[in-house]
Amino acid sequence: MAAPSDDHDGARAGQGLPPADESGRWRWLKLAPGESASAYVIVSTTYWHQTHYVGGRTIGCLGDDCPAWCHATPLRTRTFLAVSYTPPRPVVLLELGPPGVDSVGRALAVWKHLLGLRVQVTKEGDRSNSPVRLAFSKRHGEEHRWGAEPDVGAYLVRLWRETAAQLDRERRNRDTAT
């Protein structure tokens, strides 16, 4: 099973946001090509947002608060799903492209919500940015108290604000070094 990764720019969980671990960070599920992992969905539905891809990082568009250099990159819609290997925490985030979103749509058509479903995530293709395939199944005979759903949107906006500020500092440092 793939381990969650914190190599994506992580933010510390803020007021009212449950931490993933003692560091207060949520994790990103990173799979190598051909690798798969199984987890439980800990939210009722997905969270989607318009994003920029800048300096090898996904940053949510912050509208008027977005740095000017961010607007030079095209917008793309990304969808995010919160899962856990051992519900309800730690939170592990999946960033989904169109194939993953299609899988979510099919699961919603069958089960009406995602909370509590088991999901098998498989990285297809041979590139690090290859799409993931999701296979949802109902839980069988497992009892669990889910607790409050994590606020994925609030966490991601905070993460993106911190990432944009970090990239801004990196750009200023690079400009003053030359």
Residue spans of the domains in the chain: they are: 26-138
Q: How far apart are CA 150 and CA 158, in angstroms?
A: 14
Q: What pLDDT is recorded for position 140?
A: 56
Q: Give the distance from CA 124 to its chain's centroid.
A: 18
Q: What pLDDT is recorded for position 18?
A: 43
Per-residue pLDDT tens listing for the chain (178 residues): 444 444 333 333 333 334 444 556 678 888 888 899 999 998 888 999 888 887 777 888 888 888 877 778 888 888 999 998 876 667 889 988 888 899 999 999 998 888 889 999 998 888 877 888 899 998 755 555 666 788 888 888 888 888 888 888 888 887 787 6
